[in-house]
Structures are given as C-alpha cells and as structure tokens.
Amino acid sequence: MTSAGKMFDAVMHLLDRQVLDVDKMPVTVVDDVELSDIPSGRIPPGTPAPVITNLLAGSVLGTRMFGGRPPSSRLNRIRWRHVAELGTALRLNIRGDQLDVLWTERWVRNRIIGRIPGGRHDPE
Amino acid sequence: MSGKGSGSLADQATGKSSANLSILGVALGILTAIGGFVDIGDLVTNAVVGSRFGLSLVWVTVLGVVGICIFAQISGRVAAVSGRATFEIIRERLGPRASLLNLLASFFINLMTLTAEVGGVALALQLASSVHYLAWVPVAGFAVWLVVWRVKFKILENVTGLLGLTLIVFAVCLFLLNPDWNHLFNQATRPAVPEGEAPATYWYYAVALFGAAMTPYEVFFFSSGAVEEKWTVKDLSQSRLNVLVGFPLGGFLSVAIAACAAVVLLPAGIGVTSLSQVVLPVAEAGGKLALAFVIVGVLAATFGAALETTLSSGYTLSQFFGWSWGKFRRPVRAARFHLVMILCLLVGMGVLATGVDPIKVTEYSVVFSAVALPLTYIPILIVANDPDYMGRHVNGRLLNFTALVFMVIILLAALAAIPLMLLSGAGA
C-alpha cells in the first residue's frame, strides 16, 4: 500500500491507531487486523506471505485483550483496500457513514441526540 | 484552566491580523488563562492550607505552576503538530490493556472532579441567594449541559476565563487586610511544619496542593482544545505566551487565596469546611462589594471548570474508542461524545443529590488527581520525543531535562499520596 515499499510495523503503526474517513471524520480505532489465511501444517516453499485483508473494530477489542476469537460473522471489518494513507492516523478513501462499524454512532444519533432540540444545529 | 490561542478571535473579526489587534488577542489569551486557572480544587485546597499552615506550602504551588506550564505546553505542541489529542496517544502508546486501566482511572477521577465543580457552582449560587445548594444542583447541571450543547468552544472559554478574573479581589483584599508582610514572607521562604501539626499532615496537603495545580483534566482539555481550535505550528508561540504568562499569574491568585486564609482564618483558629469560609477573609476586608465580586469569580471559575471536566469526560472516552468528538461538530455528528457528557453530568448530579459534601469531594478529588498524574504525563512525554509524530518539533534537551525532573516529582507525589492519606487520616 505504501508505494515505494516503505517498511512499517503493524503493531507499532497500525494497531490502536485512529481511523479517519475521507472527510476526516473519526470512524474508530484499529482494534485488530485480519490476515489472509495461513495454510496449516508444513508450509511449502514459494507460498505467498499472508497479507492484511481487513481492519477490525468493535467487540474484537475484548478478545484481543483477553484472548479467544469471536465468530467470523460477528467481526466489524473495514477492507484494507479502503485504506488510503498511513500517518499519525489512518485515512480511508470512503465515507464512514456506510460502514457497519458505526452502527452504535448512528443508533445514538437517531434515537437520542438527534431528538434533543438543537442537536442538528451548529453551536452558536 | 484555559487560555489557548485566543488571538484568533481578533483575527476572525477582521479576517486578517493587524499588529494592534493581535496584541488584543494576546492580552485576551493571557487574561483568560489567568481567570481560567483557578477551579474549585484550587479554591478549597489553598484556603484549607492557608488556614492551617499559613504560607508554608507556597513552594508547592510554585512547583505545581511550573509543572503545569511545562506539560500544558508539551501537550499543546503534540496536538498542534500531530493533530492527535492526549487519549488517542495514550491508547496508541500503551496498547489496549494498560490504556484501558489508564482510561478507567482517569475517567473516574475526572468524574469526581466534575462532581466537585458542579457542587462548587451550586455552593456559589447558595452564597449568592441563600437558597440551599441542593436546590441549585439541577440548575447548575442543566446550565453546564446547555452550554456544552449549544455554545461555541471559543466563547465558553473566553467568557468564563474573563469573569474568573474577578478572583483578583483576593489579592486586593490581602492588601486591605494590611497584614504583617515580613511575617508572611518568612512563612513562604522558610517553610516549616507549624506547631501542633503532624509532618504527615503537612506532606498530605503538599500532595493535595500539587494535585490541585496539576489536575489531569487540564491536559485532556488543553490538548483536545488545541484540536478543537485547529491549532497548527504557527499558533504555538501564542499558546506558549498564554501559558507562560497566564498560568503563573493564575498561580499568584492561588497564593493570594492561601494568604487571605493565613491572615484571617489561621489566627482565629477557623478551619475551612465550607465555601463561605473560603470567602470569609474577602468579606471581612472588602465588605459587600468585595463579596459580590468574589461570588462572581467563584461562580465563573467553578462553572468554567465544570464545562472543562464535562468536555474532558467526553474527550477521553471518545478518543480511546476512536469515536467522533469535538464541539466544532454539530452534536449529531458526535453523538456518542455528547451522550457520554450527558450521562456524566447526570451521574455527578446524582452523587451530589445524596447530600455528600461537595467540599469533601473536592478534597479527595485533588489527592486522587495527584495519584493519577503519571498516567497522563508519561505517555505525553514519550510521544513528544517521537519523530514519527513530531518531526523536527520533538522536545529540546533542556525541556526534556526539566520534564524528566518533574516526572520524578510527579511519581513521588503519586506514590506518596495514598500512604500519606492513611497516615494523616486524610488530613484530619
């Protein structure tokens, strides 16, 4: 993803970093990453190295801290191809509104904050 | 605490900054930094200390002011250069487990401070109205929420900061009291444990005073505020000036509060257990007019700090989880951030509704603040030295040396706080 093959350390430069969408709206923090399948057993020579397929967020933070693994269907994923830039934050090339990760934000917005008078206006 | 780059207020007015307007901006920034420095923790702790130890703990206030100057400046620079606020950095540097523990501790202590500040607003309103403070708690909580909900960041910061300047009445009244200056000066320059006080109690209040001056929420608020106001490297010299001039003058107000208590309350043997005793020396020296001023000042200082702690509760949690936050966004664009602040205010009001003494909450909050100081300050210091974040704006050698010396003091204060609390019976 970084064009000139710049080295980066997934633990240092990816995990626990802020993710911003294309409009610089915060989306989440990188709670974990998902790698492409690693073949089990003896790995024959010439097998391509695993690559990062998705950024993960949400409940996976709990299992990252305390061990275990949630069922694959329960993971909130952000596709790696949507990552546009890697800096002091990760920039996506899409709008965060579409992402499953933000369902709690949408829920709180639609059910609570949006219903309080003034919630949809700029501060004065 | 406040006093960020208020210079841009003047800039906004004209669209361009001319020489004298930016002087106005600098003055405004410094004035809000002075007025915003004092909160309920400073008011109560300084008065308690003054009434029991005279000025023999002034050295701690000086130490605390130097410390907050150093770290406010560092955290502001980190936020301006990297665009990342304090808790984003804590999460990233400490990893999920350690930073979660850090979050729980910081969030809890901030909630305690928030409760104390809302209680302080209610107590100030009680002083002004003679209506019991418990009746004012819902009013105070609602008012804080309304401002956080609807008022622009810059306005809330400047208005409370400027009104807080009326606390200068403490310094004026100190002159009116016509004290024995030599005696005060000797107390301040030759600190000793007064007769009848145990050394453990003296040191317990030293830690409390240090915690009051360096409260962690100030750093959360300062760095998040830098992001709110979209600071860049260009704003750093203005902010440095606000901090380096404003905070020491704010510290001077703290000393004036302690000195008033030392002159009036100490000889009379009055211990401070309520807000009315904090302002008693002012009423004695300056009468009704001075009392009116000091009530406005206390109200502004506690209300301003209530806003800052409320915002800090939202900032810390949102930054840990990577939620959208900030007052520069509409509430619907930072929904969870606003929900957290509403819930925290409700919890604070609920705690006060049990009838717990807000002054006691304040006294404990400053001591626990001292315990939590390293949690905030160590990660900031690490990142301020990381070229990945800071490029060529990493800390210089002299600053690092001073900051490291302070790290040792902060660690000592944090480690000593709880043992001293037990040894001294919480300063009884």
**Closest partner CB to A88 (pick from B84, B97, B100):** B84
Model pLDDT, residue A4 = 55
**Chain centre distance of CA B261:** 20
Residue type (1 letter), B48: V
User: Higher confidence at residue A1 or residue B215?
Assistant: B215
**Closest partner CB to B324 (pick from A25, A31, A123):** A25
Q: Scanning the structure block, which residue is given the tokens 């830039």?
A: A85
Chain B residues with CB under 8 Å of A86 CB are: none
Mean of pLDDT values over B92-112: 92
The residue among B99, B311, B324 with the most chain A CBs within 10 A of its CB, best to mutate, is B324
The answer to whether B2 and B157 are in contact (CB under 8 A) is yes
Q: Is B82 helix (H, G, I), strand (E, B) or coil?
A: helix
- Is 0.80 topped by the overall pTM? yes
- Using CA atoms, how far apart are residues B428 and B84, in angstroms rounded to an integer? 42
Alpha carbon dihedral B85, B91, B93, B98, in 10-degree steps, equals 140
**Closest partner CB to A113 (pick from B152, B323, B339):** B339
- The two structure tokens encoding residue B111: 């909630």
Task: Look at B324 and A65 and tell me if their CB atoms are within 8 Å.
Answer: no
CB contact, 8 Å: A60 with chain B? no
Model pLDDT, residue B325 = 95
Query: Which residues on neighbouring strands pair with residue A91, listed in sequence order?
Result: A20, A85
- Using CA atoms, how far apart are residues A78 and A99, in angstroms rounded to an integer? 8
The answer to whether B61 and B254 are in contact (CB under 8 A) is yes
B210: left (phi over 0), alpha (psi -120 to 50) or beta: alpha
Examine the predicted complex and report whether its ipTM is higher than 0.95: no
Mean of pLDDT values over B335-364: 97
- Using CA atoms, how far apart are residues B268 and B271, in angstroms rounded to an integer? 9
pLDDT of residue B4 exceeding 60, the answer is no
b/e per residue, B170-194, with b = 16+ CB within 10 A? bebbbebbebeeeebeebbeebeee
Residue B262 makes CB contacts below 8 A (sequence gap 6+) with B50, B51, B53, B54, B55, B184, B187
Residue B254: is it exposed, middle or buried by C-beta count within 10 angstroms (0-12/13-18/19+)?
Answer: buried
- Quote the number of domains for chain B: 1
User: Higher confidence at residue B7 or residue B193?
Assistant: B193
Task: Look at B323 and A114 and tell me if their CB atoms are within 8 Å.
Answer: no
Model pLDDT, residue B301 = 94
Mean of pLDDT values over B150-165: 90
- The fold adopted by the segment(s) A10-39+47-115 is SH3 type barrels. (2.30.30)
Task: Look at B338 and A28 and tell me if their CB atoms are within 8 Å.
Answer: no
CB contact, 8 Å: A62 with chain B? no
Model pLDDT, residue B206 = 96
Question: If contacts are CB pairs under 8 Å, which of residues 36-55 in chain A contact chain B?
Answer: none
Residue type (1 letter), A21: D
- Residue B312's nearest CA partner among B98, B32, B117, B137 is B117
What single string gives the DSSP state of each residue in B393-428?
A: GSPPHHHHHHHHHHHHHHHHHHHHHHHHHHHTTTT-
The answer to whether B167 and B253 are in contact (CB under 8 A) is yes
Distance between start and end Cα atoms, chain B: 29
- Residue B61's nearest CA partner among B262, B215, B209, B216 is B209
**CA dist list (Å): B99 to A27, A74, B126, B223:** 19, 24, 40, 17
Model pLDDT, residue A104 = 92
User: Higher confidence at residue B24 or residue B181?
Assistant: B181
Question: If contacts are CB pairs under 8 Å, which of residues 49-88 in chain B contact chain A?
Answer: 82-84, 88
Tell me whether residue B53 is in a domain: yes
Tell me whether residue B428 is in a domain: no
- Using CA atoms, how far apart are residues A2 and B107, in angstroms rounded to an integer? 37
Q: Scanning the structure block, which residue is given the tokens 């049990």?
A: B354
The number of C-alpha atoms within 13 Å of A76 and in the hemisphere containing its C-beta is 18
User: Higher confidence at residue B23 or residue B347?
Assistant: B347
Domain residue extents for chain A: 10-39+47-115
pLDDT of residue B241 exceeding 50, the answer is yes
Chain B residues with CB under 8 Å of A15 CB are: 95
Mean of pLDDT values over B243-250: 91
pLDDT digits (tens, 9 = 90+) for A34-61: 888 777 778 888 888 888 999 998 888 8
pLDDT digits (tens, 9 = 90+) for B290-319: 999 999 999 999 999 999 999 999 999 999
pLDDT of residue B262 exceeding 90, the answer is yes
b/e per residue, B26-36, with b = 16+ CB within 10 A? bebbbbbbbbb
Model pLDDT, residue B422 = 94
CB contact, 8 Å: A72 with chain B? no
Model pLDDT, residue B14 = 40
Question: If contacts are CB pairs under 8 Å, which of residues 364-423 in chain B contact chain A?
Answer: 388-389
Count CB neighbours of B314 within 10 A: 26
CB contact, 8 Å: B339 with chain A? yes
Dihedral sign of CA atoms B68, B69, B71, B72 in order: positive
The answer to whether A20 and A26 are in contact (CB under 8 A) is yes
The residue among B89, B330, B337 with the most chain A CBs within 10 A of its CB, best to mutate, is B330
Model pLDDT, residue B219 = 86
Q: H or E element: which one contains B46?
A: helix B40-53
Q: Which range has the worst mean pLDDT, A71-85, B112-126, B138-152? A: A71-85
Chain A residues with CB under 8 Å of B330 CB are: 119-123
Question: If contacts are CB pairs under 8 Å, which of residues 89-118 in chain A contact chain B?
Answer: 89, 104-106, 108-109, 112-114, 116, 118
How many residue pairs from chains A and B have C-beta atoms closer than 8 A? 89
Dihedral sign of CA atoms B36, B42, B44, B48 in order: negative
DSSP state of A90: E
CB contact, 8 Å: A119 with chain B? yes
Per-residue pLDDT tens listing for chain A (124 residues): 444 567 778 888 889 999 999 999 999 999 999 888 777 778 888 888 888 999 998 888 888 888 888 888 888 899 999 999 988 899 999 998 888 889 999 999 999 999 999 898 888 7
**Closest partner CB to B96 (pick from A16, A17, A116):** A16
Tell me whether residue B313 is in a domain: yes
Model pLDDT, residue B46 = 96
Task: Look at A120 and B331 and tell me if their CB atoms are within 8 Å.
Answer: yes
Tell me whether residue B385 is in a domain: yes
Tell me whether residue B1 is in a domain: no
pLDDT digits (tens, 9 = 90+) for B72-86: 889 989 999 988 888
pLDDT digits (tens, 9 = 90+) for B38-69: 999 999 999 999 999 999 999 999 999 999 99
Chain B residues with CB under 8 Å of A61 CB are: 96
**Closest partner CB to A118 (pick from B97, B150, B318):** B150
Helices (H) and strands (E) in chain B — how many of each?
18, 0
Model pLDDT, residue B398 = 92
- The two structure tokens encoding residue A7: 């080295």
- Using CA atoms, how far apart are residues B50 and B177, in angstroms rounded to an integer? 15
The answer to whether A17 and B310 are in contact (CB under 8 A) is no
